[in-house]
Amino acid sequence: MAVASAKQHAVAIPQTGLEARLAIRSGEWTGPTSGIAPGFVQGNLAILPGALASDFMRFCQLNPKPCPVLAVGAPGDWRLPSLAKDLDIRTDLCRYRVFRNGELADEPTDLKKHWRDDLVIFALGCSFSFEDALLQDGIELRHITCGTTVPMYRTSIQTTAAGPFHGPLVVSMRPMKPADAIRAIQITTRFPAVHGAPVHLGMPEQIGIKDVMKPDYGDPPQINKDEIPVFWACGVTPQSVVATVKPEFCITHYPGCMLVTDRKNSEFAIM
């Protein structure tokens, strides 16, 4: 989920994933993470009890567009060595959300008092990575231009269920001129690990969106007359699905406060 733009901080903007994590760990950087460590992959975070982990992993595998798995931790392990060398998931995000039985219980800045030996970390790809590629190609992203949160919608498209996990696909929307939409499809196709190509364009009603001006999450869009809405599978999907399950315990990142890794966005381009 990419839900906030970088705000001015008095401190220097971290330029690498490691700099970002160290600044966050020390409390020097308090979020959001959009715009920091440019070029480095940021990820959505979900932490689940071991009893639910294998079903959730299977859910992600069945629904790779909304749930592209970047890394899964070993039970109880707070590290993700394939994504970052010096990483402690308990301290390296600016803020977290802790849920008990589906209810928001805490929004701490570290997980030290919440950690359990059976917890499994899931790091999922995030739209920041493909947005970086789109911006580099000169494609305008309206929500960034406007300084708003990308609009997101629950759709009539169902994810493929696994164990208790099921629910509707959530999509994010970026309005574009048709030629830019075609180019954006080409570019995001190169990034299957971070949501990949759009799932839909034009005709919001076909995927159960009654009014594109009234998103379920994020801010209402500004769509110009010469633009069509382009819809990507969104990392809010797994959060929405987990919320439906109401697990006895789970942790996610706080909106806009992502996991910052040592991997470069360009590493995830398949060509």
Q: Is residue 200 close enough to count as binding a second copy by CB under 8 A? A: yes
From the CB of 230, what's the least distance to a second copy, in Å?
9
From the CB of 231, what's the least distance to a second copy, in Å?
9
* Residue number, 52 or 209, with CB nearest to a second copy: 209
Binder among 197, 234, 257, 258 for a second copy (CB under 8 A) = 197
Q: Is residue 178 close enough to count as binding a second copy by CB under 8 A? A: yes
From the CB of 225, what's the least distance to a second copy, in Å?
9
From the CB of 236, what's the least distance to a second copy, in Å?
20
Query: How is residue 218 annotated by DSSP?
Result: S
Q: Is residue 51 close enough to count as binding a second copy by CB under 8 A? A: no
Query: What is the sign of the dihedral through the CA atoms of 164, 171, 236 and 92?
Result: positive
Rounded to whole angstroms, what are the CA distances from 3 to 23, 92, 246? 21, 18, 23
Q: Is residue 163 close enough to count as binding a second copy by CB under 8 A? A: no
Binder among 189, 222, 244, 266 for a second copy (CB under 8 A) = 189
* Residue number, 10 or 179, with CB nearest to a second copy: 179
Question: Of 214-233, which residues contact a second copy (CB under 8 A)?
Answer: 226, 228
Q: Is residue 120 close enough to count as binding a second copy by CB under 8 A? A: no
DSSP-derived 3-state class of residue 51: helix
Cα 88 versus chain centre, distance = 19
Binding mask 3-42 for a second copy (x = CB under 8 A): ----------------------------------------
DSSP-derived 3-state class of residue 162: strand
Q: Is residue 206 close enough to count as binding a second copy by CB under 8 A? A: yes
How far apart (Å, rounded) are the C-alpha atoms in residues 93 and 20? 9
From the CB of 124, what's the least distance to a second copy, in Å?
22
Give the CA dihedral 187, 199, 3, 263, nearest 10 degrees: -40
From the CB of 182, what's the least distance to a second copy, in Å?
6
Query: How is residue 165 annotated by DSSP?
Result: B
Half-sphere exposure of 23 (CA within 13 A, CB side): 22
Binder among 186, 211, 214, 246 for a second copy (CB under 8 A) = 186
CB 180 within 8 A of CB 243: no
CB 259 within 8 A of CB 47: no
Query: What is the sign of the dihedral through the CA atoms of 263, 111, 66 and 37?
Result: negative
DSSP-derived 3-state class of residue 179: helix
Spatial neighbors of 63 by CB under 8 A, at least 6 apart, are 159, 160, 169, 237
Q: Considering only 16-24, 58-66, 182-190, 249-257, which stretch makes contact with a second copy by CB under 8 A?
A: 182-190
* Residue number, 49 or 208, with CB nearest to a second copy: 208
Q: Which residues of this protein are in contact with a second copy, per CB under 8 A?
A: 177-179, 181-182, 185-186, 189, 197-203, 206, 226, 228, 271
